[in-house]
Amino acid sequence: MPLVLTPLPGIPMIQSGDDLAEIIMHSLSRVEIVLQDGDILVLAQKIVSKAQGRVVNLAGVTPSQTAYDLATKIEKDPRLLELVLWESNAVLRTRPGSIIVEHRLGFVCANAGIDHSNVAGEGSQDEEWVLLLPDEPDAAAEAIRRRLEAASGARLGILIIDSHGRAWRLGVVGVAIGLSGLPGLVDLRGKEDLFGYKLRITQVGAADELAAAASLVMGQADEGTPVVHVRGFPYPLREASLRELLRPKSEDLFR
């Protein structure tokens, strides 16, 4: 089966408390997509964060001395850096203009995933508002999946994605930060290649591969398509979590 990714139209600007499952069901009906077993819905983290009310006004943040010290070194707003510290387990690298942390969810990223783009709020300039990553994205994906499965009767997967940079290449790519009902990692060790050689180390980051494809369809600026329907995912659906994609620190050559 070919892999088909379809951006869903008509997703409104999400506000705190919005029912994402209901919004997705309306959008699916608008394009006459009937959910089937094996289908996956990929959601941009922004709409999940907004629905959870994870928007913060920097005007209300009081920086700590640690945040002020970091601001002097890396030339960033100390209020933003205070939020980065709140959201992080550890600061790993800094340089003027950049801060790399281990996020509280376990992965490594810049600025703890805190974003200015496509975020606005009441009573202040747009740039005063920032968006934190979702709280417990695996659980958020699970809740949306259960609602959509109950409504459709189909066995589904839900993937929540964000755009991350990489230490060894330029440019951001879509990566999984939360999932339910689909594999994060697919282990091909023991499978034979075309010439009968048994694979020894190959494990596929299937959720990240799908995240990158969906991110390409969603776009990064003003496209307004934060949900993508996927049909033809080449691996069986199963229960999983983000944890299986995170490299143990003992195997991390960069820390």
| Annotated domain spans of the chain | 4-53+134-246, 55-131
Phi, psi of 4 (to 5 degrees): -120, 125
Q: How far apart are CA 156 and CA 47, in angstroms?
A: 19
Contact 134, 140 (CB under 8 A): yes
Residue 58 DSSP label: G
Q: How far apart are CA 159 and CA 29, in angstroms?
A: 20
Contact 81, 100 (CB under 8 A): no
What's the whole-model pTM score? 0.92
Q: How far apart are CA 228 and CA 26, in angstroms?
A: 14
Phi, psi of 177 (to 5 degrees): -120, -5
pLDDT tens for the chain, 255 residues: list them: 899 999 999 999 999 999 999 999 999 999 999 999 999 999 999 999 999 999 999 999 999 999 999 999 999 999 999 999 999 999 999 999 999 999 999 999 999 999 876 565 554 554 689 999 999 999 999 999 999 999 999 999 999 999 999 888 999 999 999 999 999 999 888 888 888 888 888 889 999 999 999 999 998 666 689 999 999 999 999 999 999 999 998 888 877
Residue 224 is predicted with a pLDDT of 81
CATH superfamily of 55-131: CofE-like domain (3.90.1660.10)
Residue 120 is predicted with a pLDDT of 59
CA count, 13 A, side-chain hemisphere, 185: 12
Q: How far apart are CA 97 and CA 199, in angstroms?
A: 42
Contact 83, 66 (CB under 8 A): no
Q: How far apart are CA 229 and CA 28, in angstroms?
A: 8
Put the strands of the sheet holding 40-44 in their side by side order.
4-7, 227-231, 40-44, 157-166, 169-180
Neighbours of 151 (CB within 10 A): 14
Residue 1 is predicted with a pLDDT of 80
CATH class of residue range 4-53+134-246 = alpha beta
